[in-house]
Structure 1
Amino acid sequence: MSLPHARTEPAAAGPRHVFDGRMPTAPGDLRMEARGITPVPEDTRYGGPGRLFTVWFAPNLTMTGVFSGTVGATLGLDFTTALAAVVLGTVLGAVPTAYLGTWGSRTGAAQMPLARLAFGRAVTVPGVLQWLSSIAWDALIGLFGGEALAQLCGWPFWAGVLVMMAGQGALGVLGYEVIHRLQTVMTFALAAAFAVLAAKLVHGAHPAATATVHGADRAGAFALTCTVALSLALSWAPYASDFSRYLPRTASRPRMFWCTLLGIGLSFVAVQALGLWGAAEFTDQTAHGVDTLLGGGALGAFGLLAIALSALCSNAMNDYSGSLALQTMGVRLPRPPAAALAAVLGFPLVLWMHAADTTARFQNVLLFVGYWIPAFVAIVIVDWAARARARGGRPVELSQETDRPQSWWPALTAFVVAFAVSVPFMNTGLYTGPAARALHGADLAYPVAFAAALLVYAPLRALRRPRTADGAAGDGVRG
């Protein structure tokens, strides 16, 4: 199995034609993008690294981040300690995401298709998980967006969610350039909206000055708060190069890295700090609770509109990347209807989450959708580094002649082992592992999975090298 090769001419009819298709040609080209997982040819790329800041900043200004920020206070941490955990976790999750994002301009490929290099045919496993995760995130974020829209317009909840899903699905269908342009505009609009919410909280909320937990319990609460923040930032890692694959190869990779890191880091820290500051006011984790907090009226309506728009921005990216994951799995569905499918499937999941204890289901889904990601990140980074080392330090550059996939079993073995090893360290409302209990609630599943995948995959990869085009054993690349 290999990545579909870049090409400049229209795709011929055949088994791969659904992976090709029309591409945006310049900033502001808002026609529908039909391009699937086929790498973007070098001579059709455009844009600069600066647009990565806005595409990663706006989608994180959601109530999902705000309500996640309340975790530290709920666990009994004081504001300063909880904020330190939020910052640490966010940075730890944003760094690998920013690094993976630099691969887009080098290869012209999206993140999950690039994982074929490490996983070979087994890429179906992370592909399925990524596709399911995109639908789960649709529900996590659409829950608040649909509720806000329903309350704003006086509709029943299901109608608000239906309109929300239709809007985000349409944006996912239109694709790359429309999403980039939307996030540029919404960076300013949503930043202003959340600034208004922050100003309201500053005068009315009183964050905890002292902790109610101490000793080992406090350390456990710190670790769990850090993990929740890390899970938010790292959740973008399997999407990372999806939104940089049209950038020219000459785009500065350090600038790409920092624009992505700052976009993710600043937005997530801001919304989680807001939730932490007003944790006592956010006991009702619903759009109605935010409306009440803002005092209703015009200000409340403004807040509800901001919640709905922020959900729209974030879920459009989920649907877009979900469509690429579906194609990576081998499903021969054109990218636009594949994006629409993710939105359609997210609708019943939102209704399920809303039907019972919303807070509990929200927190459980939030953690479970990300436990597979640390092992995935470790495996693809090890593979990338090995290929670069074989090239004398030069990064991977996809073409028709280079970079053949690895055998499937080393990556899949490491992936499964890493997840299994991390299970005892998990701490959710549905399951708390023995290691997490012994560590006073600390959820260390993410770093444990990452370390385990590194330790297992690196030696297995060295044992099993791919076959080159001429049949000789090698690293799968040729100069």
Structure 2
Amino acid sequence: MAGGSTAVEARSIDMIPPGERHGHPRGQFTLWFGANAQITAIVDGALAVVFGADAFWAIVGLLVGNVLGGAVMALHSAQGPKLGLPQMISSRAQFGVYGAVIPLALVILMYVGFASTGTVLSGQAINLMLGVETPAVGILIFGAATALLAILGYKYIHALGRIATVLGLAGFLYLTVAVVTRFDVTQVLMVKGFEWPTFLTAVALGAGWQLTFGPYVADYSRYLPAHTSERKTFWYTFAGSVGGAQWAMTLGALAGGLSAAKLGGDFLKNQVGYMGDLAGAGLIAVFIYLMIVTGKLTVNCLNAYGAFMCGVTISTAVNRRDTVSKTVRIAFIVAVIGASVLIALFASKDFLNMFKNFVLLLLMVFTPWSVINLVDYYKISRDRLDIPALYNPDGRYGRWNAAALVSYGIGVVIQVPFLAQALYTGPVTKLLGGADISWLVGIVATLAIYYPWAKATNRAPAESIYPAGRVGEPAAVAMEG
């Protein structure tokens, strides 16, 4: 990395030059497995059962959703080595330099929301390890650890992902064995018949989980050499993200089913304590709490780092810069973590539940954005970018791009009648018996509007244009060996 003499990552939203590229795509597996094999994913899996699905059909639905959403997420990751750019900077090629600010603002809100709920759960685990009852102790310790690692940046977040993967593999294996040996899980499998509404809800939970990584997944593959195979980047990312999430969600679906059947305690009221009780007393329980903290620390660092990248992308749209100082980096990350810690400290349980629902509602903004970004990269521009123009509102991509903005707006709004959230249930959803197919509608509508419009108004250069004095490395081998 540039500035390698210091611990703090020097790069921000600028393109990573060839001389600073390093690593192997297998690192994407450990990062994304560690980010997904964690307590919030367990809770997400349990929610599928809480919403009425049989545990077996919930697991199947979650798998379908994880595979579909994971494929979209991994396609974003595959862009990183070729472009060497943060994910949301490349969105300026579709939305315009100013237009990209619109989805970015909502993305930051979502990251703060997920960070705050993750801080609550991790704070509980830290308190259980330390034997203290004051919630603020664990929350503040976890917030400080998140800020430190997010400030240090890319290299250290990847290292944390490797640690979280090792702990997650051991811990999840132990918990899985504990569940199937201590309880008769057949009592919660195939108890209910198949129901489309609850099954589609499980699919949406899995797909929505994966789609939340889309706006920053390429941030963690952009340091790979430009000749890195897109296929390998895709599959390592996909395997880590889907594998970690599905394992955690399966465990959550079983725990939710057991809890509903009055077996093994009340998981929904005390998720962290339930996992510790399942592990047993003593050092094994401490290890499980450590696994929970490490897994959440990984994903919270991703949230803080991603929020920083989005915030800088917004600010530099105005000042036309392509870099920010380390001081600005530190200040922004501390502000994001500070906001998430304050929410975790002062929010009541009822408020947190409402806030989680608000965050889930924001997931509707990711489907249209993903469609626009992927269609442009793989079908319209075909990875040809004018890099300097991404930082210039008067350049090739302009301030606003009507094709992307109109398609995006329609793609979001058209989902509203199909939503099935705690805050709002759309009229079409009621006619469908409660099935949430909003994200599928968003995909179809956005694709139908954006693809022909963008093809007719293609702004991509004939060949990629790099910053002055910089020559790109040989192109990656597109989606092969």
Tell me which interval the TM-score lies in, with the shorter structure as reference length: 0.7 to 0.9
The separation in 2 between residues aligned to 1:181 and 1:255, in whole angstroms, is 20
The secondary structure found in structure 1 opposite 2:103 is: helix
Deviations 1:178-208 (A, max 9, x none): 1111111221122112222222211223441
Matched, 1:183 2:161: yes
CA contact (8 A) 1:60 1:264 kept: yes
Displacement after TM superposition at 1:454 (Å): 1.2
Tell me which of 101, 107, 117 is aligned to 1:130: 107
Distance 1:130 1:357, change over 3 A: closer
Tell me which of 334, 339, 342 is aligned to 2:333: 339
- 1:86-235 map, 5 Å: 86-120=62-96, 121-153=98-130, 154-207=132-185, 208-212=188-192, 218-235=195-212
Tell me which of 224, 232, 254 is aligned to 1:277: 254
CA contact (8 A) 1:404 1:477 kept: no
Displacement after TM superposition at 1:404 (Å): 3.5
Matched, 1:419 2:412: yes
The secondary structure found in structure 2 opposite 1:118 is: helix
CA RMSD of aligned residues (A): 2.3
The separation in 1 between residues aligned to 2:54 and 2:66, in whole angstroms, is 18
The separation in 2 between residues aligned to 1:48 and 1:96, in whole angstroms, is 21
Q: Which residue of 1 aligns with 2:365?
A: 372
Displacement after TM superposition at 1:462 (Å): 4.1
Q: Which residue of 2 aligns with 1:431?
A: 424
Matched, 1:355 2:343: no
The letter of the residue matching 1:197 is L
Displacement after TM superposition at 1:348 (Å): 2.1
Deviations 1:351-382 (A, max 9, x none): 35543275x43651452231100000011122
The letter of the residue matching 2:372 is I
Matched residue count: 438
Displacement after TM superposition at 1:259 (Å): 0.1
Q: Which residue of 2 aligns with 1:385?
A: 378
Displacement after TM superposition at 1:456 (Å): 1.8
CA contact (8 A) 1:54 1:187 kept: yes
Tell me which of 398, 404, 407 is aligned to 2:396: 404
The letter of the residue matching 1:67 is V
Q: Which residue of 2 aligns with 1:456?
A: 449
Matched, 1:79 2:71: no
CA contact (8 A) 1:169 1:339 kept: yes
Runs of 4+ in structure 1 over 6 Å off? none
CA contact (8 A) 1:205 1:277 kept: no
Q: Which residue of 2 aligns with 1:391?
A: none
Displacement after TM superposition at 1:59 (Å): 1.0
Please list every run of 5 or more consecutive structure 2 residues that lacks an aligned counterpart in the other structure: 260-266, 465-481
The separation in 2 between residues aligned to 1:369 and 1:301, in whole angstroms, is 35
Matched, 1:443 2:475: no
Displacement after TM superposition at 1:341 (Å): 2.0
CA contact (8 A) 1:405 1:476 kept: no
CA contact (8 A) 1:220 1:440 kept: yes
Displacement after TM superposition at 1:306 (Å): 1.7
Displacement after TM superposition at 1:220 (Å): 0.3
User: Of the two structures, which has the highest relative contact order with CA contacts closer than 8 Å and spacing of 6 or more?
Assistant: 2
CA contact (8 A) 1:136 1:369 kept: no
Identity of aligned residues (%): 25
CA contact (8 A) 2:13 2:313 kept: yes
CA contact (8 A) 1:206 1:277 kept: no
CA contact (8 A) 1:104 1:247 kept: yes
Q: Which residue of 2 aligns with 1:395?
A: 383
Deviations 1:270-324 (A, max 9, x none): 0001111222242324322333333443332222222122111110111111111
Distance 1:366 1:196, change over 3 A: farther
CA contact (8 A) 2:385 2:463 kept: no
CA contact (8 A) 1:100 1:240 kept: yes
The separation in 2 between residues aligned to 1:147 and 1:322, in whole angstroms, is 24
The separation in 2 between residues aligned to 1:352 and 1:477, in whole angstroms, is 54
The secondary structure found in structure 1 opposite 2:113 is: helix
Distance 1:421 1:75, change over 3 A: same
Deviations 1:76-108 (A, max 9, x none): 433332211011000111001111111111111
Q: Which residue of 1 aligns with 2:10?
A: 34
Tell me which of 37, 41, 44 is aligned to 1:65: 41
TM-score, scaled relative to structure 1: 0.86
TM-score, scaled relative to structure 2: 0.85
The separation in 2 between residues aligned to 1:34 and 1:44, in whole angstroms, is 11
Between stretches 136-145 and 197-206, larger displacement belongs to 197-206
CA contact (8 A) 2:57 2:190 kept: no
Displacement after TM superposition at 1:395 (Å): 2.8
